[in-house]
Amino acid sequence: MYNITVMASDLGTPPLSTETLISLHVADTNDNPPTFSHASYSAYIPENNPRGASIFSVTAHDPDSGKNAQVTYSLTEDTIMGAPISSYVSINSDTGVLYAICSFDYEQIRDLQLLVTARDSGDTPLSSNVSLSLFILDQNDNTPEILYPSLPNDGSTGVELAPRSAEPGYLVTKVVAVDRDSGQNAWLSYRLLKASEPGLFAVGLHTGEVRTARTLLDRDMLRQSLVVVVQDHGQPPLSTTVTLTVAVADSIPEVLAGLDDIKNPDNSEDSDLTLYLVVAVAIISCVFLAFVVVLLALRLWRWHKSVCFRLQAEGWWACLPQTFWVWKEYRHSFRPIPMRSPSLQTQGRVT
């Protein structure tokens, strides 16, 4: 807007004049595209981010006025790993705030290259673009994976051989592990967590090499079990363990013979334990059966006794046979003599 003062005067004596104020309004035309404050942007997002989280924002300015200065934001359509960019991030068309549609995984996607468009609302809309690089930051979310030794498919345990003539520092085997993370999250260290014979073997801190720490003796067991833990340097650190079986022998046949000797006592102990369990169950069953028989006999005897007492009270010896066979030799023959109950005999004497 401009204010213009116009004055008109004549040439008379004295001269006369007059003036007027003119306000000049300049109408805006959409002749300026939106501009970003930076030529490009970079943003960093930790992996495993929550879905829908705000990750970044961009702002563009349009020097025009009115609707010519109203800016809307959008993302240029593109594909990443075969999926549209809209399945990864979205942008608020009014504010320019970007949101994460999914939770990013550093091991799958490490960066996104986006093109943000700012467009005004003029009759002939003008626009400008800016590049945005989204970098995914690695988090310690993967435990170390053991590559060697690997368990056979049949479920058996692999055996490493250490000859009895081995000197201290002899390389028995090597634990190989990897971590899918990056940076210090993928730095691995190895240490011996448990051993059946402490002090016999040592594990390299950074190499994972299992070596003898002293000379092998005859008293050392044929089968040695080692538990090695592999740990990364992330925060918090993650770890995994692997169990190694080392056979202290000079040859494979000696190992096989020794392992057979080791397995046989285990089998015999298992069979003895099974036998003890069977005998114990049989004894308990017999004791229980005897208890049931005694209990039934006792109840039957009490019932018989109560019946006898009741019948005796009624004057009958029902609990005894009604006749006794009195064996008496008479003319080389035997005959039964009826016996009355004692109560009846007593009554007869009294009478």
Q: Which residues contact 37 (CB under 8 A, 6 or more apart)?
A: 59, 61
DSSP codes of every residue in 232-266 = E-SSS--EEEEEEEEEE-SSHHHHHHHHHHHHHHH
User: The tokens of 309 are what?
Assistant: 């007492």
Strand partners, 239: 231
Q: What share of the chain is helix, strand, coil (3-state, %, to 5)?
A: 25, 35, 40
pLDDT of residue 252: 62
pLDDT of residue 152: 64
pLDDT of residue 134: 95
Strand partners, 255: none
Q: Look at residue 70 and give its three-state secondary structure.
A: coil
* Total number of residues shown for the chain: 351
Domain boundaries 145-250, CATH class: mainly beta
Residue spans of the domains in the chain: they are: 35-137, 145-250
Say how far apart CA 234 and CA 137 lie, in whole Å.
Answer: 13
User: The tokens of 127 are what?
Assistant: 């626009």
Angstrom distances, CA of residue 163 to CA of 48, 201, 258, 261 = 49, 13, 14, 18
Phi, psi of 256 (to 5 degrees): -65, -45
Q: What is residue 333's DSSP assignment? A: B
pLDDT of residue 258: 55
Say how far apart CA 163 and CA 267 lie, in whole Å.
Answer: 27
pLDDT of residue 228: 95
Q: H or E element: which one contains 92?
A: none
Nearest alpha-carbon partner for 100 in 85, 83, 115:
85
Per-residue pLDDT of the chain (351 residues; tens, 9 = 90+): 789 899 999 988 888 999 999 888 888 888 999 999 999 999 999 999 999 999 999 999 999 988 999 999 999 998 888 899 999 999 999 999 999 999 999 999 999 999 999 999 988 999 999 999 999 999 999 999 999 988 665 444 578 888 888 899 999 999 999 999 999 999 999 999 999 999 999 999 999 999 999 998 888 888 899 999 999 999 999 999 999 999 988 766 665 555 555 444 445 555 667 888 888 888 998 998 999 899 898 888 888 778 777 766 665 544 444 444 344 444 444 444 444 444 444 444 433
Q: Look at residue 207 and give its three-state secondary structure.
A: coil
Q: Look at residue 51 and give its three-state secondary structure.
A: coil
Judge whether 35-137 and 145-250 match in fold.
Answer: yes
Asked if residue 242 lies in contact with residue 194, where contact means CB atoms within 8 angstroms, the answer is no
Please count the other Cβ atoms lying within 10 Å of the Cβ belonging to residue 331.
6
pLDDT of residue 304: 79
pLDDT of residue 109: 92
CATH superfamily of 35-137: Cadherins (2.60.40.60)
